[in-house]
Chains A and B, each alone.
Chain A
């Protein structure tokens, strides 16, 4: 073995602990910045679960069939949910910008939900009431707020866990909407 090769080998050997350390830091950094609350929804890419729920302050019902026909945001909210108030502004803006936003009032009292919507404004086309959370289980809801993006064919395309914010809208929702539109043409 030449001297040069020998030197290279021992240099690598001396740097080994540093390399292992950096690799470990990288792995731990990824692990620690992942949010364990963001459980990927098993429904993404699958048809919306079947359901039929009464409407708030209106006669009639909402079913999974009603979700088809356009891009729909199904927003799980409740009057007892603080983070729902945080995202309310963003949801309202999406609604004003032409999104079909449907409210999914999760484990709430109808009178509380109605008062909440009167106070903060109602961005929803209709609001379905899931009083006992039974349909919520079928949708894999485990908290509020959660927002499902459903395409024209009634396929769930994304699930946002936690409040919808500017970052989500610009970095995930808008690209997804463009993708859905491009699939159509």
Chain B
């Protein structure tokens, strides 16, 4: 029974690959690697959370064909990315370029982290300070009398024990 359960669970773990089967033939391995790299870095605009490589949308297929054609013509990675950005904007890039428009995107998280760090340090410092309690002069007096009383008790106890 356990074995069957284990097998069923193992089956559940196998990733279901729904990625479109590539039927392209490449002149070289580098070309194929570049094709795979680019199609993973470019967003499919129809189903926006998928890359061109793993989308079954019609447009994604067209763009794969287009990219394949451009690679066959010997276009470089930069030229192909440029082709896509000119037509669909920076939005097609999963790796957005660094420019004033995207500063918040790039530096926002670092800023948030630093701000959080700053507040944590401030809170810790404040708690440290709060731990040192200032006593009033009456309290100091009272403490002194208590201490001397206690010492007197200890002394008398000592004398008894001897």
Q: A residues bordering B, Cβ < 8 Å?
A: 36-37, 39-42, 49, 107, 132-134, 137-140, 142-143
Number of B interface residues at 8 Å Cβ cutoff, please give it: 14
Given A39-B45, A142-B45, A142-B46; A137-B66 close (CB under 8 Å): yes
B59 and A133 contact, CB distance less than 8 A: yes
Interface centre among A42, A134, A139 (most CB of B within 10 A): A42
Top 10 nearest A-B pairs by Cβ distance?
A142-B45, A42-B89, A140-B87, A39-B91, A140-B88, A142-B59, A133-B62, A142-B46, A36-B48, A137-B66
Contacts of B62 in A (CB 8 A): 132-134, 137
B46 and A143 contact, CB distance less than 8 A: yes
B86 on interface, CB distance cutoff 8 Å: yes
B63 on interface, CB distance cutoff 8 Å: yes
B48 and A37 contact, CB distance less than 8 A: yes
CA gap between A147 and B40 in the complex, in Å: 29
Contacts of B59 in A (CB 8 A): 133, 142-143
Give the shortest distance, in Å, between B31 (CB) and chain A (any CB).
21
Contacts of A139 in B (CB 8 A): 87
A42 and B45 contact, CB distance less than 8 A: no
Contacts of B58 in A (CB 8 A): 107, 133
B85 on interface, CB distance cutoff 8 Å: yes
Question: B58's closest neighbor in chain A, by CB?
Answer: A107
CA gap between A49 and B83 in the complex, in Å: 12
CA gap between A134 and B69 in the complex, in Å: 12
Contacts of A40 in B (CB 8 A): 89, 91
